[in-house]
Amino acid sequence: MATMSVAVLGAGVSGLASALALGRAGHEVTLIERDEVVVGAPLDAVDWRREGIPHFLQAHSFTARGRRELGAMFPDVYQALLDAGAHDVDLRPKLRGPLRPEDAELQILGVRRPLIEWGLRGAVLHEPGIMVRSGVQVVGLDGTTGDVPRVTGVRTSDGPVRADVVVDAMGRRSPVPDWIEALGGRRMSEASSDCGVIYYTRYYRVREGAFLPDGPWVPTPRADLGYGLFSSFPGDNGTFAGLIAIPPGDQELKVLRHAAAFDAATATMPALHSWTNADTSTAITAVLPMGSLQNTLRSFIDGRPPTIGLISIGDALCHTDPVFALGLTFGLVEARELTSAIEAHGSDLEAVPLAFDAALRESMVERFANATAVDALRLRAWQGEAVDVAHRDGGAYPLFAFAAGNAAALVDGDVFRTMIRRNYFLDPLSVLDDDVAMQARIERIFADLRATAPPRPGPSRQELIEVMQAALAG
């Protein structure tokens, strides 16, 4: 295998994972990051300046597929995270019925985004084949102009960097498409949809001697309220994130950005409050809003990469609603597939992006399409439209699979196994979508669950508004 020189732009999770995979495969890697790249103690990571990643402190989830990829690709990083306070969250105790050997995969990793970057940074900085240039901003591409430009490196605030391959890991706001046009090329085509949601997140730490109660949820407290939702995400070192989501047009609910309103809101949601109450945990951050979210998928035009010598990965290639928790996992999968494509095709720089894209395109397309459909249907339901989530043929199948499937999973082991593997990216969506018998089973179970008239998971919208207004009034 020929050794390639690779410039990776951006030291988020996708960039770090790609640099590490390529460096360990024997390539000469230059990782360029505009923020300072330091390591320090694990918990120092939450205070890093990450101006290029506005969602750095937001809730993240490492899916079962992500945990598997991390353990297989970078077992040292996985162990370093565990040693630093991350933990495996075993979902098998929720599974009704006997276990199977393959159920060992039904675990996610409880860890915050900063600690993930800390683990990857430490490995990158100790890898001899990787040069890290931090505090350096990329300002453009170098290369030959034409309909399909040949990229030969990048221009930076610290001078040019030559490379056989440039990897764009600069995120959803990457300027690379504009730079491609500056060289005379065509940017990739882009499909995009609005997620139709604003997330309000607050992190908590479990009090010494307290514990987080278990309940009828997978894996942590979460529910749809009919006009929004609440959820939670396990973190490292006794931390977790509590989250409330609303449609972006609901102005009265936007007071959730205030800590007093947020705390009052969580107190009205029994499942979430069982974790966020003051006897169990204490808040360690302000309320962190996140909006203006898009599902976006970029694709080659006419099956032809826009350049030779440049490959986009991570959010620069595809990003979806954070509630689906696909970004971290895709970053690891893409790092592996990019390394495989370069190892298979070496200096054939026209074949490398085609092989990389072929390995990922099907899963990206189906996950993007599903996120877009679920987001659109959920927003319609939150805005008061009648949306049938109880029937597979009720005109809202993606939301039926999401809502009815997850509810039925709690009472049926086979449904649980199917939904967890589907939701957490271990299996393709077709594991349910092509199984009519399983769909019918979910429909029957969900009908029985609804007939028992379970308690509401939280207040009505008007009740919530009144509670929050009273909290703000003091």
| pTM given for the model | 0.95
3-class secondary-structure state, position 397? helix
Q: What pLDDT is attached to residue 474?
A: 82
Q: What pLDDT is attached to residue 347?
A: 85
The DSSP element (H or E) to which 401 belongs, if any, is: helix 397-409
User: pLDDT by residue (tens digit) across 383-434?
Assistant: 999 999 999 999 999 999 999 999 999 999 999 999 999 999 999 999 999 9
* Percentage of residues of the chain with pLDDT beyond 70: 99
Q: Indicate whether 15 pLDDT > 90.
A: yes
Q: Where in the chain is the domain with CATH 3.50.50.60?
A: 5-192+294-370
Q: Indicate whether 53 pLDDT > 90.
A: no
The mean per-residue pLDDT over the stretch 316-335 comes to 94
Q: Scan for tokens 């594991």, then name that residue.
A: 431
3-class secondary-structure state, position 412? coil
Structural contact between residues 209 and 167, judged by C-beta atoms closer than 8 angstroms: no
Which residue intervals of 233-350 are DSSP H helices? 259-266, 270-276, 327-345
User: pLDDT by residue (tens digit) across 92-146?
Assistant: 999 999 999 999 999 999 999 999 999 999 999 999 999 999 999 999 999 999 9
Q: Where in the chain is the domain with CATH 3.30.9?
A: 198-292
Structure tokens at 451: 């007939």
What dotted CATH number matches 5-192+294-370? 3.50.50.60
Give the residue among 2, 37, 1 at the shortest CA–CA distance from 16.
37
Which residue intervals of 57-175 are DSSP H helices? 64-73, 75-83, 113-125
Structural contact between residues 37 and 11, judged by C-beta atoms closer than 8 angstroms: yes
pLDDT range class, residue 455, cuts 50, 70, 90: confident
Class of domain 198-292: alpha beta
Q: Indicate whether 54 pLDDT > 90.
A: no
Q: Scan for tokens 């499909």, then name that residue.
A: 191
Q: What pLDDT is attached to residue 1?
A: 61
Give the residue among 380, 239, 397, 406 at the shortest CA–CA distance from 324.
406
- What is the SS3 string spanning 253-285? HHHHHCHHHHHHHHCCCHHHHHHHCCCCEEECC
pLDDT range class, residue 62, cuts 50, 70, 90: confident
d(CA 287, CA 263): 10
Structure tokens at 195: 């997620």
Q: What pLDDT is attached to residue 174?
A: 95
Q: Indicate whether 446 pLDDT > 70.
A: yes
